[in-house]
Amino acid sequence: MNPATANIEEAILSAILAGRIAPGTRLGEQKLADLFGVSRTRVREAMMRLETRGVVQVSARRGWYVVEPSAEEAREAFHTRRVIEVGLLQTVPHVPPNVLAALKEHVAMERAAIESGDIGSRACLLGDFHIHLADALGNRLLTEIIRDLTARTTLISMLYQPTEKAEESSHDHEDIVAAMEADDLTLAARLMGEHIAKVEAGLDLTAKPDPLAGLRELLSPSTFTGNTPSVPHSHTHPHSHSFGKED
């Protein structure tokens, strides 16, 4: 893979995992080419790879944009994560001490981010736990698969999760690591399955994305001085941003 293509791909995926890019965000080829100092051909190659990974889509009208998973796709993504991540723990014969130490350090970083109110770091660390776990157990292929799935479920949470449950998720991670440290991988696998199911259960899959969310924010009274009529709100997901105008 071309290094420039890899850098674009990695930057976009990392931003999604950190919650900095919302579902539906348009990814303009020319803007990305300017940003990374590469040709639009290189950008297109990166976008095509992200498309095969289920992270972006392309249309004649919108160009490239970050996927907006449907409720059915959300269910499928969480089901797939349960199968893979529970299965991973069920097949590990033993967890080396250095892996346990790294995971415990990661959970401590989660707790610190939660206590400090660092929302960006917190979101990134909570999603990264699952990727770090697969990587620490030495399965590179599963690490890549889990990373892509985690990116999709991050987008799903941004669309359908009405409340933050960061502290509860971190406690779940702590319990999973404790079970691994006790060499009870059967318990660890069960806790992982329950954890992923709990995150899915916290989603409101009946929520409908609000196509006027961006306009609502632009026209909200807080953006003006003086008396401005209020704009009605509904259950919305983070509005879509864009890396520039249409190419």
Please give the pLDDT value at position 167: 83
At residue 154 the predicted structure's pLDDT band, cuts being 50, 70 and 90, is confident
Contact 122, 114 (CB under 8 A): yes
CA distance 95 to 185: 9
Instruction: Give the start-to-end residue ranges of the domains of the chain.
Output: 3-68, 71-201
Residue 157's CB is within 10 A of a number of other CB atoms, namely 22
May I ask the CATH architecture of the domain 71-201?
Answer: Up-down Bundle (1.20)
pLDDT tens across 190-241, in order?
999 999 999 888 888 776 555 555 555 556 655 545 554 444 444 444 444 5
pLDDT tens across 87-117, in order?
999 998 889 999 999 999 999 999 998 888 8
- Taking CA atoms, 198 is separated from 82, 130, 174, in Å, by 11, 15, 15
Higher pLDDT pick, 3 / 79: 79
CA distance 108 to 125: 10
Contact 177, 100 (CB under 8 A): yes
Greatest distance between any 2 Cα atoms in the chain: 66
Across the range 117-131, mean pLDDT stands at 83
pLDDT tens across 156-181, in order?
888 887 645 778 889 999 999 999 99
Contact 62, 26 (CB under 8 A): yes
Copy the structure tokens of residue 229: 């009529």
- Taking CA atoms, 203 is separated from 34, 41, 78, 101, 165, in Å, by 37, 38, 11, 32, 11
Q: Which of 49-53, 105-109, 134-138 has the lowest mean pLDDT?
A: 134-138
Tell the CATH topology of 3-68: Arc Repressor Mutant, subunit A (1.10.10)
Please give the pLDDT value at position 81: 94
- Taking CA atoms, 220 is separated from 21, 92, 174, 181, 215, in Å, by 22, 52, 41, 51, 8
Please give the pLDDT value at position 157: 82
- Residue 104 bridge partners (DSSP): none
Q: What amino acid occupies position 120? A: G
